[in-house]
Amino acid sequence: MTTARTATPSTARAINDRLALDLLLERGPLTASTLRDLTGLSRPTVADLLERLQRAGLVAVVGESGEQRRGPNARLYALVADRAHLAGIDIRATGVSLVVADLTGRTLARAEVPAAGDGSLVDRTMAALRAAAREAGAERLHTVAIGAPGLFDPATGEHNNSGDLPRWHTDLLAALRSDPATAVIVDNEVNLAGIAEHRLGAAQDRDTFVLCWLSHGVGAAVVLDGRLRRGASGGTGEIGYLPLHGSGLPDADSGCSGGGFHTTVSSAAICDLAAAHGLPVPPCGSAPRGEAVVRNAVAAGAAEFLDELAQRIAIGVAAVCAVLDPGCVVLGGEIGRAGGADLADRVAHRLARLVPLRTEVRAGTAGGGAVLAGAVLTAGDAVRRDVFGGS
């Protein structure tokens, strides 16, 4: 038999402080009376916690409310946003995008570093990150969250690039991890996009869903019962390897480019399909060419092309649904965003014929910037756990 324990005064203070900090983060500046109403805490308790948080440099008075009654009760309290700074980084084959933000996640500076093929990208990225931090007024970055292709072991953080990523990916990760004053979090880029779709995008009302990421390649983020799932080796969501009838067999040693789901819905495969349907295909560029193909096809009402593409996507998604039964699939990435509701509806129609599990298909709304958004969210969570305390 166990006996319930009463929280100690210090534990109670920590819980109340975190509750107030989370409310200030979510709602912005608040008066003491509003905090009392939202928390249900007494007037003396709220007064004590505000004084405590001000002494700790976490909260400051930023003005007064528009209430008729002035004085202490009208003071507006807000988080000290520059108490800590963070960065989100999206590493692609075509280059690097980065954002520096404050404690609240508000973007203060950003930079794009294209790959030039001259071996300088690592140095240029580190210089761009330092410049963005200076622009944001940050003496140091508390935490950097990075999204990159490949597998990242959930236990060790070790990167497995599957043998098909440029060497500079590994070198850049090593450089970013070299500063002992900055915590570094690294995850697969589609996992971070899944976090963004869950908290900011199309799946905000879902605790269980799968993000099918359609870009240069294909991947998935799996969220079950509100938690992102990574698997034993970080490989959950590597749906590009799904062996599908007629697509050939993928080669685990050399990546999935030789066969599997990837070869049917990657940007290159979509361009080949468009050409077969007599649709124009743009020249190579940094963005997935399939994005422009799908956007133009939707605008032109190219039904036969979109139907065949939807069938291809549905076949791979059906395999995922038959195993996980997520109830909701979000089509994300640049190509998913380009297809919008038109492509999502076509996929849903075909998916319903393939599996008897009711599955809603939605177009992603976080778009191509979802990886960066997810990185900033992830870094922000880590910073606030450290600075605010608690879980």
Residue entry with tokens 């440029």? 166
Q: Report the sign of the C-alpha dihedral through residues 219, 183, 171, 96, in that order.
A: positive
Residue 320 has pLDDT above 60, yes or no: yes
With H, G, I as helix, E, B as strand and everything else as coil, classify residue 255: strand
Separation CA 238–CA 223 (nearest Å): 14
pLDDT grade, residue 156 (50/70/90)?
confident
> Strand 85-92 to strand 143-148: parallel, antiparallel, or no bridges (unpaired)?
parallel
Separation CA 95–CA 112 (nearest Å): 8
Tokens of 127: 């210089």
Separation CA 251–CA 188 (nearest Å): 20
Give the lowest-confidence range in 38-52, 100-114, 154-168, 203-217: 154-168
The pLDDT score that the predictor gives to residue 170 is 84
Residue 4 has pLDDT above 50, yes or no: no
Residue 167 has pLDDT above 60, yes or no: yes
3-state percent helix, strand, coil for the chain, nearest multiple of 5? 45, 20, 35
Residue 207 near residue 188 (C-beta atoms within 8 A): no
> CA–CA distance from 81 to each of 89, 99, 136 (Å)?
20, 16, 11
pLDDT grade, residue 161 (50/70/90)?
low
Q: How big is the CA angle at 177 (ends 171 and 178), to the nearest 5 degrees?
A: 90
Separation CA 113–CA 115 (nearest Å): 7
Highest mean pLDDT: which range of 31-45, 155-169, 246-260: 31-45
Residue 35 has pLDDT above 90, yes or no: yes
> CA–CA distance from 252 to each of 175, 217, 241 (Å)?
28, 15, 8
The DSSP code for 278 is: T
Secondary structure (DSSP) of 307-348 = HHHHHHHHHHHHHHHHHH--SEEEEEHHHHHHHHHHHHHHHH
The pLDDT score that the predictor gives to residue 255 is 54
Rg for the chain (alpha carbons), in Å? 24
Residue 330 near residue 210 (C-beta atoms within 8 A): yes
The pLDDT score that the predictor gives to residue 293 is 96
**30-31 sheet: strands from edge to edge:** 30-31, 75-79, 59-64
The pLDDT score that the predictor gives to residue 43 is 94
The pLDDT score that the predictor gives to residue 284 is 76
Residue spans of beta strands (DSSP E) within the chain: 30-31, 59-64, 75-79, 85-92, 95-102, 107-114, 143-148, 151-152, 159-160, 183-188, 209-214, 218-224, 227-229, 328-332, 360-363
Residue 47 has pLDDT above 50, yes or no: yes
pLDDT tens profile 253-303: 555 555 789 999 999 999 999 999 999 998 876 678 999 999 999 999 999
User: Model pTM?
Assistant: 0.90
Residue 228 near residue 253 (C-beta atoms within 8 A): no
Per-residue 3-state assignment (H helix, E strand, C coil) for 3-20: CCCCCCHHHHHHHHHHHH
pLDDT tens profile 332-383: 999 999 999 999 999 999 999 999 999 999 999 986 789 999 999 999 999 9
The pLDDT score that the predictor gives to residue 256 is 54
Residue 41 has pLDDT above 70, yes or no: yes
Tokens of 239: 């749906």
